[in-house]
Amino acid sequence: GPASLRAPVVALIGLPGSGKSTIGRQLARLWSMRFVDSDHVIEQRLGCSIREFFEREGEQAFRDMESQVIDELSASTSSLLLSTGGGVVLREQNRRHLHARTQVFYLDCTPEAIAARLRNDVTRPLLQVEDPALRLRELLLQREPLYLETAHFVIQTSGLSVAQAAQRIRMQA
Ligand code: S3P
């Protein structure tokens, strides 16, 4: 990674579908960092998809596992590009760990831009509703202050390609 980074871990936060993992993969390639998606780590530990786990055990059980994984990954001493789940900021412990231990970029994207991109995506349990854009607006209302509190940098990504968004982050870092 670049010398100017203040921590070995760079974390991306933002709404579901804001591009955390696609942009994260691109950045990891550019910076020669290991890429880790916390949702993927969680699914490996659970041995099933997050969607199945949500349905079977409920959201709180998922959040417990998520906090455990974020605690571990945020403390990594080797360089890591960390893509997180959209709800990671809901717990105060996660916000504190991410902000204190990692360099956090909030990918700020409009609900409308996300809804357009996610049409036909059935992997996100929180967006399996009649009007995903409305759901995303509700999520943003609840979470935006939490994203802003956790982030060191805010990156506007609506209308940008993955490459353009990655470039914007590189210029901020
Ligand atoms: C969630 C977002 C998901 C995943 C879980 C909960 C949320 O990750 O962690 O389904 O609460 O916003 P993505 O942001 O990658 O969709």
Residue 74 CA, ligand 1 centroid: distance in Å: 18
Q: Which residue has the higher pLDDT, 172 or 150?
A: 150
From 67-81, 83-97, 117-131, the region with the lowest mean pLDDT: 117-131
What confidence score (pLDDT) does residue 108 get?
97
Q: Residue 86 is encoded by which pair of tokens?
A: 């959209």
Q: How far is CA 12 from CA 54, 108, 131, in A?
A: 23, 10, 26
pTM for this model (two decimals):
0.94
User: Which parts of the chain are beta strand (E)?
Assistant: 9-13, 34-37, 80-83, 103-108, 153-156
User: Sheet containing 103-108: which strands, arranged edge to edge?
Assistant: 34-37, 80-83, 9-13, 103-108, 153-156
Kindly report, residue by residue over 11-51, the tens digit of the pLDDT.
999 999 999 999 999 999 999 999 999 999 999 999 999 99
| pLDDT value of residue 18 | 94
pLDDT at 1 over 70: no
Decide whether any atom of ligand 1 lies within 6 Å of the 87 Cβ.
yes
Candidates 20, 21, 39, 146: which one to mutate for ligand 1, based on the most atoms within 8 Å of Cβ? Answer: 39
Higher pLDDT, 100 or 2: 100
Q: Does the pLDDT value for residue 2 go beyond 70?
A: no
The ipTM value here is: 0.98
The residue written with tokens 């209308």 in the block is: 159
Rounded CA gap, 98 and 75, in Å? 9
User: Distance, CA 3 to ligand 1 centroid (Å)?
Assistant: 31
Nearest in space to 69 (alpha carbons), one of 52, 56, 87: 87
130-141 burial, b at 16+ Cβ within 10 Å, e below that, comes to eebbebbbebbe
92-137 pLDDT, tens per residue?
A: 999 999 999 999 999 999 999 998 887 767 677 677 788 889 999 9
108 Cβ below 6 A of ligand 1: no
Query: Assign residue 17 a region: left if phi > 0, alpha if psi is -120 to 50, beta otherwise?
Result: left
pLDDT, residue 107, reads: 98
What type of residue sits at position 27? Answer: L
Ligand 1 atom closest to Cα of 14?
14
DSSP secondary structure, 133-167, as one string: HHHHHHHHHHHHHHHHHH-SEEEE-TT--HHHHHH
Question: What separation in Å is there between the alpha carbon of 4 and the centre of ligand 1?
Answer: 30
Res. 63 pLDDT band, cuts 50 70 90: very high
